[in-house]
Amino acid sequence: MPSKLKLPPYVLKERTRHGKLMYYFRRGKGARTRLPYPHEPTFMPQYLAALTGTPFEQSYIKSTKKEPTTFRWLIGQYQKSAHWLGLAFNSRKSFELHFEHILQKSGDFDYRQITSKHIRLGLETRKTTPASAILFLATMRILFKWAFQQEYIKVNPCLGIERPKHKTDGFKPWTIEDMKKFKSYWKEGSQAHLAFEFLLYTGLRCSDACRAGKQHLKDNIFSIKTQKVGTVITVELPEHLMSLLEITPTGDTTFFINRDKQSMNADQFTRWFILKAMKAGINKSAHGVRKLSATILAEEGATAHELMATYGWKTFSQAETYTKGADRIRLGIKSSRLISSVLNPKNPEPDK
């Protein structure tokens, strides 16, 4: 009989429900890492990578044959990597769009010849569209950082390149007057009215609101894992919003549906809501409702931690954008009242 295969430490083998044998690396109660079959040449490098905590890429074992050197090939290799697959869905979608634009002009360029001069030239050609320039640099940074780590290049051409300055207030926040105008135009029972109330109370992005449905509700507790950053948001829906869900036509798996009674993706939901707002005489987006929601909470004294939990933010800086503004308002009012109380005392003491 053949001797039993002795596996290295922390390597487990399991059979799937279809009878297929699988191998995994798992130390203690940690996460499992899929491994190739032990007889495959990539088994030991991947095992050692899992054992030491070093990321393993398909290019870990380089082929001795000459590899292509085009920009197109490099981007293709990156999009097969574990780093790329580990990015959030929306991040990959954004980078993919920018890669497509770059490949149209520079796909056949030798990536080894790209220097910081080329990166700066790319920024210069986009100087009239700062947002595009910022995304271009972000795309190049993530690509060439990975290429340097995989030893495809000896120098990262993005090192020392400063991020273009782009001052913007972003999406315009809705005001209380906008809210009244919208709700007056779109009555209770309409999907538009429900969408506004839902966005206001949950503070969700369009990419999450379009996926929200009854499956995310337990009584009046709504919980969903956000698509952009992967955090789980849990909020309590007020009785008023629960009543709207009862009287408003919704889909089977999502609350919001199009005229064909089909679910909408993030882009479709965004455009749909903008159209509803325009019909009500408001030229603002759904993200502006999210800003109104955060502003109301901040002005009512919500802490940065509370805002982070509600809106799924991971950094204090995002929450402090609202808390600092609210603090300035409160302190400004308090200061003006203090000055007024000194200059115009209500009960001045009589002269002796």
pLDDT at residue 323 tops 50: no
Q: d(Cα 199, Cα 194) in Å, to the nearest integer?
A: 8
pLDDT for res 1:
45
Provide the β-strand partners of residue 257: 263
Mean pLDDT rounded to a whole number for the chain: 78
H helices of 4-160, where? 43-52, 71-78, 82-85, 89-106, 116-124, 130-149
Residue 325 pLDDT greater than 60, yes or no? no
Query: Sorting pLDDT into bands at 50, 70 and 90, what band is 341?
Result: low
For residues 163 and 141, give the distance between their C-alpha atoms in angstroms, rounded to a whole number.
11
Q: 4 pLDDT band (50/70/90 cuts)?
A: low
Confidence (pLDDT) at 184: 93
Q: Which of 23-37, 69-83, 177-191, 309-323 has the lowest mean pLDDT?
A: 309-323
- pLDDT of 114 higher than 70: yes
pLDDT classification of 319: cutoffs 50, 70, 90: very low
Is this structure's pTM higher than 0.75? no
- The CA distance from 144 to 149, in Å, is 8
pLDDT (0 to 100) of residue 3: 53
Task: Please say whether the dihedral angle defined by the alpha carbons of residues 27, 31, 37 and 42, taken in this order, is positive or negative.
Answer: negative
Extract the tokens encoding 91: 């991040």
- Ordered DSSP codes for 214-231: GGGEETTEEEEE-TTT--
Q: What is the pLDDT of residue 154?
A: 92
E strands present in the chain: 11-15, 21-25, 33-35, 217-218, 221-225, 232-236
| pLDDT mean over 159-183 | 80
Banded pLDDT at 85 (limits 50, 70, 90)? confident
pLDDT at 337 over 60: no
pLDDT one-digit tens code per residue, 266-291: 888 888 988 899 999 988 888 888 87
User: Are 159 and 116 in contact, with CB atoms under 8 Å apart?
Assistant: yes
